[in-house]
Chain A
Amino acid sequence: MTTKALSKEFEAIVGAENVLTQESDLHSYAYDAAVLPSQSPAIAVRPTTREALGKVVKLCNDNALPLTIRGAGTNLSGGTIPKAGGVVALTGALDKILEINEADLYAVVEPGVVTAKFAAEVAKLGLFYPPDPGSQAVSTLGGNVAENAGGLRGLKYGVTKDYVMGLSFFDVNGELIKTGSRTVKCVTGYNLAGLMVASEGTLGVFDTITLKLVPPPKAAKAMMAVFDSVIAACEAVAAIIAAKIVPATLEFLDNFTIRTVENFRHAGLPVEAEALLLIEVDGHPAMVEEDAAKVEAICKEHKAKSVRVAKDAAERNAVWQARRDALPALARVRPTTVLEDATVPRSKIPAMMAILEEIAKKYQLTIGTFGHAGDGNLHPTILTDKRDTHEWERVEKAIDEIFERALALGGTLSGEHGIGMAKSKYLVQETSRGTIAFSRKMKKAIDPKNILNPDKIIGAEGKNG
């Protein structure tokens, strides 16, 4: 069928005003937050009901059209860059919270609900949805599930997958598949919900998501500990965990990031420090007091130069402002910001930091590193200019080496940003040829015409092992 004939068919499903075929509209769905070349789709559609979304999937399959689902388009791995000639379906209009159940502690949502809006609605009822990716003000819950998004609270509260109780999703024929339930326990059938988490739109299209809610902590206390060496900071982290305290957040900033943030905000950060730990403990008020005192003592035992415990909401906010400023401050240094998320076992952070320093020197690049010290999820951030082709070549080599070395330390390619197109070529290094062959067979069985976000995660056929 011609694009024109096809767009008529899409119009019949979603209405003429929700089918976009003009060059300028299409180009605005050609990218996401990854530093990768743009690719416009042939058609973009914006279904306003879930039924229409299902029909869009079926129409694509009937015509063997590649289909990429797009939430807020904030993923950092090229997961929403469509294939040439393909279709982009937007979930923005599917933004209803269908149910928040206070008795059974769950909520059912459409995939286009914005994470922070959902968390705020839940909080209004005195409940808590912990996953808090840095993009939560815009990211969608569908995108969060499809990327298994993490966030600052990962160490204690886990990541998105720990909150997905059930899903309904469309298969390529537009058939509704149900998995999981509204109960805490459920062993009915394969754990398809588990399979759909982090599937990046390659196996099915979410229709509704059932998410677990928890009671919020009654109290929280934040502090900032200053260290002269990364190793001392990491030893403090290990000692905190060994003392059986699990802080809600345990964040790390390296010296370059500290200096850049200070330059940006002028909040009086210690620019000489080699590392800052930003720590928050939460829970029952009495326990919070006790844990905070213990964490403070442990940091001091591990050669913290100073530990500042926030006394009130304003001071607590100041602690987290420093963390929130990390990316904005770094992003302003050079035109292009490459945010990576190679992750290593917690104990390997000092080794990884040394490696990053070595890589920055070797390829003559500026790298600022911050991240989640509690779970080893670092964000080495390369500050560069993609227009400088010589420098960009070095950036690509540096990224290759970061992954190689992180894997050698027993780490993983991506803690939370997903594989998408950006990292599919490294997948075999972390897994195996067999794993990829298995994944391909599974994908082929579920999606014989390979329409669902083709080439993401496992790469194009014939490439990647």
Chain B
Amino acid sequence: MADLKRLVGMMQELDDQLVTCMRCGMCQAVCPLFAQTGREADVARGKLALLDGLTHEMLKDPLGVNERLNRCLLCGTCEANCPSGVKVLDIFLKARAIMTGYLGLPPAQKAIFRGLLANPKLFNTLLGIGAKFQGLFTKPVDDMLGSSCARFNSPLIGDRHFKRLAARPFHKIVAKLDEPRQQGGRKVAFFVGCVLDKVFPEVAEAALVALKRNGVAVFLPENQACCGIPAISGGDVKTFEKLIAQNLEVFAGGDFDHLLTACATCTSTIRKVWKSMARKPELAEAVARLADKTMDVSQYLVDVVGVKPAALKAGAPSVTYHDPCHLKNSLGITAQPRTVIAAAGYALKEMTDAGTCCGCGGSFNLKHYELSKTIGGRKADNVVASGAGLVATSCPACMLQLTDMLSQKGAKIPVKHVLQLYASGA
């Protein structure tokens, strides 16, 4: 291990942000992890204090701090409710990057991030093989897929009721699109994202149906890369910047008003994390331009296109909505997906704590699966208790977790993306 002084030096850049935490402890009220463990090192205040302790040379064990820093769902609930406006997630991601820069990337992650994630074509080919031989290759495929999105960045374990890889990924169904703008009409670019592409191609298809119905032309370039969140959650700035550069390049040629995604995590990553973490000056300007144009599809349909709730018919099927952390906490988006549900002709039945994290897990590893399961189990109980016939959400990572948790409880409640409801109608 390199000497501690070097780490302390690297941590200094966080000091201006760390000092804004007033240690009020109010984050204890909302942190889903703390609710389970009651451990101060699991809540934002504790983690910030540990980072502060390292920065001010009160602590000598960076590995201990790093371990606790990584025990976090990165759900942002603490930040959304912090009275002092501490940029908790920004601090955590920067700290992870610093820690990784200092401790080095663990070999397994290095192989996955640098070898696969950063090479979309190879990644796709391998996953394609995996999809064909599911069962045979489950373990390595799970490992790869597990790291394709920070929200389930874990080597998945045996008893997990895991949604299988799609037989045909989305990029095999629709390789690319560049529809002409109708006279004076709207045009958007669509960012697919790994989980939609490889697990839920039907959601990406639903998004296209929804846009078509509203006369919105679509630009969908091929060779899109991962949004980068798994890499940056693992502190791998190098891979992260490489992925951004690839995405900037494929979207550069297009003519579009907004960049849309149907994945809450991709939306918040591109909109917020790209800007704060991609620090290469040559990237900054292009990143800012694309990030500011990025929106969730429901948000676009309601705020830009003006989709309105439909009149509720008697006997309309009921659905309950789970707020993905990356829409609610990171971007403050809660109303628009509900409007889209109403526009689809469904009756919304709110569950208790619709806005609490599903426990999907961020970079939670195997060790924390039990915790993730307890948090997710409560979510599943709330879904069941709502009495709704369906649960809808706006993030494919949440869809995976909800499917797993509901099926473990033996609840036969289908999990859908809001756009699937809208595309097919009630």
Contacts and interface: CB of A to CB of B under 8 A. Distances in A.
Interface in A134-176: 135, 137-138
Contact of A28 (B50, B60, B84): B50
A331 interface: yes
Contacts of A332: 20, 84-85
A23 B61 contact: yes
A138 B85 contact: no
Contacts of B68: 24-25, 28
B425 interface: no
Contact of B25 (A24, A138, A327): A138
Given A22-B61, A137-B29, A33 B22 contact: yes
Interface stretch (B38-46, B380-388, B405-413): B38-46
B159 interface: no
A31 B23 contact: yes
Interface of A: 22-25, 27-33, 35, 38, 46, 72-74, 90, 92-93, 114, 116, 135, 137-138, 327-328, 331-332, 335-337, 385-387
Contacts of B50: 24, 27-28
Nearest to A24: B64
Which has the most chain B C-beta neighbours within 10 Å: A29, A114, A331? A331
Contact of A27 (B15, B28, B58): B58
B49 A38 contact: yes
B53 interface: yes
Interface size grouping (class) on chain B:
20 to 34
Contact of B24 (A46, A74, A385): A74
Interface of B: 15-16, 19-20, 22-26, 28-29, 38-41, 46, 49-50, 53, 58-61, 64-65, 67-68, 83-85
Given A22-B61, A23-B64, A92 B38 contact: yes
Contact of B49 (A27, A137, A336): A27
A386 B19 contact: yes
A450 B281 CA distance: 59
Contacts of B64: 22-25
Given A328-B83, A328-B85, A331-B85, A33 B24 contact: yes
Contacts of A386: 19
B361 to A, nearest CB: 21
Given A24-B67, A387-B19, A331 B83 contact: yes
A72 B24 CA distance: 10
Contacts of B49: 27-28, 30-31, 38
3 closest A-B pairs (Cβ-Cβ)?
A24-B64, A328-B83, A28-B46
Which has the most chain A C-beta neighbours within 10 Å: B16, B25, B53? B25
Contacts of A25: 39, 41, 64, 68
Contacts of B67: 24
A73 B26 CA distance: 10
A93 B20 CA distance: 29
B256 to A, nearest CB: 32
